[in-house]
Structure 1
Amino acid sequence: MKKIAVIGGTGVEIEGEAVPIDTPYGRVVPRVAKLGGEEVLFIPRHGEGHLPPHRVNYRALLMAAKYWGALRVISTNTVGTMSWHPVGSFVIPTDFVEFTKSRPSTFFEEEAVHVDLTTPYCPQVGRALAGGAEATGAEVAEGIYVCTEGPHLESPAQIRMLRRFGDVIGMTGYPEVVLARELEICYASICIVTNPAAGMRRDAMSAAEITGEMARSARLLRGAIEGAISMMPEETSCSCGSALAGAGL
């Protein structure tokens, strides 16, 4: 078995059997479902009450995936483009920059562990996601993900600054990427572009319009994930599983 967990963002729902998992950081209620011919663990990132990004219990989500036995995690993220990406296209992050403020971002609160982030996203899972996205017929590109705290959207001045750091902007990609790295789980993200960032076009999109665009893209996103899962080999060929080697002092 490939043992894949899918962390679903806004507008992404996969039905399955609920399997509550208790972690040191709280209880998570993911679902076991079939996707791409494989049994997967679907974890709704925002929970039943749809928590805002800055209140999501990211450590509990990633630890639940680890407890279930996941070797790979696919994350779905809604993003705004700060570049040329059209609405409805996919972006596969290869690196990130974060401007968050209040999120616990490590499992090693009492230890000096400095995990290497030279390759923060698993290249093997990333390639599969790119292949799955291409199979849907949608436009696909790689890019750098910029994570902000939220829950408000960014101002045009902020976007002008942040465009120097990356290509797309969202509120949920961090600290998932580093927490997965600390757990030595292969992790990659598939981002769906739902809107131009503030100031990138004359009229702004409302939060409701962005959510509506996400709902329209949900079927495409599911197809991309299913394709990626079916393309992934059983065995990993990356270094994610030894991310902690040499990280401790």
Structure 2
Amino acid sequence: MTKYGRVAVIGGTSLLHSKLFDHFKEKVVETEHGNVIVYEDETREYSTLFVQRHHADATKGAEVYNPPHVMNQKSYIAALKSLDVSTILGVCSVGSLTKEYDTGTLVVPDDFFNQMSTTYFDDARGHLVPAFSEKVRQTIITALGETGTEKTVTSGTYVQTVGPRFETKAEVRFLSSLGDVIGMTAASEAVLALELSMDYAVICMIDNYANGLVGGTLTEEEFRANVKLNEKTVETAVQAILNKFYET
């Protein structure tokens, strides 16, 4: 076993239509928080796992899309723990909170802002100091450097909002003072993974400027078009990172 142990990828919008995990075998994992759809790659010596966070609810079925505010994050993080996962790579589609980082840029944040209360614990065990795993972050950065990805930012703050709607222009003006990219999932995943003693870090693809940042109003059509445009870059990055995890 490598120093990363068993590895899982949690994907979102940027991997919704990816072919990267087509050969993975679907399985349902039961947890006390709900049943989860997990995909397993049985071709690797150390068996990578994949969860599509928007389609992980086994009660609803893999065809049902779950927006961020109704996703059962406790269930899919717990499912990965029950499968002996040690390292989690989060993959997220995000908006840019700064004009400096345009669409198509990959960001590996080193901090996050999130005032949502997401925890497994209602006692003193919840008093943890949250952070992305620096060990995993550095591996991600090394892998991206070796692929020659030009538009890569190796630090920054991820700001999480509740969703499912995008932010107003006024909200963006305020939130841009707090961080560099904005999303709806990764910070909560990081906290839950830490509570269950798993290393978690995230790679973010900027698929849009936050609403009003560069003038005009963000449209869903613009967002979806950029997700499609950047899909191949995300796939290449994820594959390179997985290869780096399993180097001996």
Q: TM-score by structure 2 length?
A: 0.86
Q: In the alignment, which of 109, 131, 144 is matched to residue 142 of structure 2?
A: 131
Q: In the aligned structure 1, how far is the partner of 2:183 from the partner of 2:204?
A: 9
Q: In the alignment, which of 84, 103, 106 is matched to residue 87 of structure 1?
A: 103
1:50 aligns with 2:65: yes
* Offset of residue 50 of structure 1: 1.4
Residues 29 and 97 of structure 1: is their aligned pair in 2 closer, same or farther, counting only changes over 3 Å? same
1:39 aligns with 2:42: no
Structure 2 gaps, min length 5 = 56-61
Structure 1 gaps, min length 5 = 236-249
Q: In the aligned structure 2, how far is the partner of 1:227 from the partner of 1:153?
A: 31
Q: In the alignment, which of 72, 76, 81 is matched to residue 87 of structure 2?
A: 72
What is the 5 A alignment of 1:157-236? Answer: 157-232=170-245
Amino acid at match of 1:4: V
Residues 223 and 167 of structure 1: is their aligned pair in 2 closer, same or farther, counting only changes over 3 Å? same
SS at match of 1:46: helix
* Offset of residue 130 of structure 1: 1.8
* Offset of residue 37 of structure 1: 7.8
Query: For the Cα contact (< 8 Å) 1:146–1:170, is it kept in 2?
Result: yes
Q: In the alignment, which of 18, 33, 41 is matched to residue 25 of structure 1?
A: 33
Q: TM-score by structure 1 length?
A: 0.85
Q: In the aligned structure 2, how far is the partner of 1:183 from the partner of 1:136?
A: 34
1:114 aligns with 2:126: yes
Q: In the aligned structure 1, how far is the partner of 2:43 from the partner of 2:101?
A: 28
SS at match of 1:79: strand
SS at match of 2:211: coil
Deviates more, 1:59-68 or 1:196-205: 196-205
SS at match of 2:187: coil
Q: In the aligned structure 2, how far is the partner of 1:234 from the partner of 1:66?
A: 22
Q: Figure out how many residues of one structure are paired with residues of the other and give that number.
A: 230
* Offset of residue 115 of structure 1: 4.1
Q: In the aligned structure 1, how far is the partner of 2:41 from the partner of 2:232?
A: 16
Deviates more, 1:68-77 or 1:220-229: 220-229
Amino acid at match of 1:5: A
Q: In the aligned structure 1, how far is the partner of 2:43 from the partner of 2:152?
A: 21
Q: Percent identity?
A: 28
Deviates more, 1:196-205 or 1:67-76: 196-205
* Offset of residue 221 of structure 1: 1.1
Amino acid at match of 1:98: N
SS at match of 1:145: strand
Q: In the alignment, which of 4, 8, 14 is matched to residue 5 of structure 1?
A: 8
Amino acid at match of 1:155: T
Query: For the Cα contact (< 8 Å) 2:29–2:35, is it kept in 1?
Result: yes
SS at match of 1:93: coil
Residues 34 and 129 of structure 1: is their aligned pair in 2 closer, same or farther, counting only changes over 3 Å? farther
* Offset of residue 34 of structure 1: 6.5
